[in-house]
Amino acid sequence: MSILVNKNSKIIVQGITGSEGGFHAAQCLEYGHNVVGGVTPGKGGQTALEGAVPVFNSCAEARRATGANVSLIFVPPPFAADAIMEAAAAGIELIVCITEGIPIAQMVEVKAFVQQTGSRFIGPNCPGILTPDEAKVGIMPGFIAQKGRVGVISKSGTLTYEAVHQLCAEGLGQSTCIGIGGDPIIGTSMKELLELFEADSETDAVVMIGEIGGSMEIEAAQFAKDHMSKPVIGFIAGQTAPPGRRMGHAGAIVSGADESAAAKKKLMAECGIHVVESPADIGRTVVKVCA
C-alpha cells in the first residue's frame, strides 16, 4: 500500500505539449506506465510522447475518456491557477502542480476552490510525488529511491532527494516520497500527510523536513504528539538564517520567534519527534529509532 499514488493511478498531464511538460511526462510514463493522457486547449485530438498519449482540450474531456484520477500540471504561471481549478472542477481526485511563481492572491482563491470540490492538491512549486516501483507524479528522479517502509515529507525538493539518499544508504526504502512545496499558500500540509502515513499499514516511520517560517511544522508536531504511533524524524532547514531573511522559498521567512529554526526544533523535540541537526544524520537516525 502507498499513500496518494500507486501503480493503479491514471495520470493526465496538463501542459503535456510544452517542452517541460513533455519531457517530464515521458519520464513519468517510463517509470510507471500510467500516464493515460494530456491536456492542452486547442490541441485535442493530437497525440504526445511519440504517439503514446492522446491529447485532450480539457480535463473534463480527458477524465471522461481515460478515467484519470491524477493530474500533473506543467502550465506557465499566468495560467496555472486556472489549470488547477479546472482539474478540480473536473473531479480529478489528486492534483499535483509543479509550476512556480503563481501569485499568492491567486493561490488563496485556488485553495478555497479546491477545498470545496473535495480534490486533494499538492504544490505548487514542488517536485511532486514518488511511490517507488509504482508511480512517479512530478520531477523527482525515480532511480534514487527504492521501495520500502519509510515515508518522506519535505518542503524542499533537494532535501527530499538527500533524505532519500540517506535512507537508501542505510538499506531503508521508502513507501511514498512527497515534496509539498515551500510557497506561503500550498495545497496539503505536513499534518494532513502525517495523518495519511499513520493510517498506512506499510509505513513504519516518517521523515519530515521543514524550514524556517510559517507554523506548519508546529501544527504537524502537535498532531504527531497526540496521534502518531509511528516514529517521526524531523529536520529544519535554515538554522543559521537571520530574522527576516528569505531562504529560497517564498514561505521560508522568519516573522516571529515561534517560526525560527531553534523554536521549531525545540517544540518538535518536546512533541516526541526525533530532531536531527544535519540532513546527513537522517538515515542513521531512522535506523536507530526503528531498531
CATH code for the domain in which residue 34 is found: 3.40.50.720
Nearest to 54, CA basis, from 10, 118, 20: 10
Q: Are residues 160 and 232 in the same domain?
A: yes
Q: Are residues 110 and 197 in the same domain?
A: no
Residue 171 belongs to some domain of the structure: yes
Q: Are residues 105 and 170 in the same domain?
A: no
Q: At 41, give phi and psi (nearest 5°).
A: -55, 130
Residue 179 belongs to some domain of the structure: yes
Dmax (CA) for the chain in angstroms is 57
Question: What is the pLDDT, as a whole number, of residue 244?
Answer: 56
Q: Are residues 164 and 275 in the same domain?
A: yes
CA–CA gap between residue 222 and residue 225 (Å, rounded): 5
Q: Are residues 105 and 155 in the same domain?
A: no
**Structure confidence at residue 182 as a pLDDT band (50, 70, 90):** confident
Residue 189: beta bridge partners? none
Alpha-helix residue ranges (DSSP H) falling in 123-270: 157-169, 190-199, 216-227, 261-270
Which residue is it, cell 512533541?
271
Residue 133 belongs to some domain of the structure: no
Q: Are residues 183 and 265 in the same domain?
A: yes
CA–CA gap between residue 78 and residue 6 (Å, rounded): 31
Q: How many residues does the chain have?
A: 291
Cell numbers that stand for 223 in this block: 498532531
* CATH assignment of the domain containing 180: 3.40.50.261
Q: At 238, give phi and psi (nearest 5°).
A: 90, 30
Residue 17 belongs to some domain of the structure: yes
Label each residue of 233-283 as H, E or C. Answer: EEEEECCCCCCCCECCCCCCECCCHHHCHHHHHHHHHHCCCEECCCHHHHH
CA–CA gap between residue 120 and residue 56 (Å, rounded): 22
Enumerate the active-site residues.
249
178 vs 244 pLDDT, higher one? 178
Structural domain of residue 180, as residue ranges?
145-290
**Structure confidence at residue 253 as a pLDDT band (50, 70, 90):** very low
Q: Are residues 153 and 42 in the same domain?
A: no
Q: Are residues 74 and 184 in the same domain?
A: no
C-alpha count within 13 angstroms, C-beta hemisphere, residue 126: 32
Question: What is the pLDDT, as a whole number, of residue 89?
Answer: 98
Q: Are residues 273 and 166 in the same domain?
A: yes
Q: Are residues 99 and 201 in the same domain?
A: no
Domain count across the chain? 2
Residue 24 belongs to some domain of the structure: yes
Nearest to 273, CA basis, from 205, 181, 211, 212: 205
Cell numbers that stand for 74 in this block: 506543467
Contacts of 119 (CB under 8 A, 6+ apart): 87, 88, 91, 92, 93, 94, 95
Residue 131 belongs to some domain of the structure: no
Question: What is the pLDDT, as a whole number, of residue 254?
Answer: 44
Q: Are residues 152 and 75 in the same domain?
A: no
Q: What is the pLDDT of residues 127-173, one digit of tens each?
A: 999 999 999 999 999 999 999 999 999 998 889 999 999 999 999 99
Nearest to 232, CA basis, from 271, 177, 281: 271
Residue 1 belongs to some domain of the structure: no
Residue 130 belongs to some domain of the structure: no
Domain boundary among 122, 154, 183: 122
CA–CA gap between residue 251 and residue 150 (Å, rounded): 26
Q: Are residues 224 and 269 in the same domain?
A: yes
Q: Which SS3 state, helix, strand or coil, does residue 171 take? A: coil
Question: What is the pLDDT, as a whole number, of residue 251?
Answer: 52
**Structure confidence at residue 88 as a pLDDT band (50, 70, 90):** very high
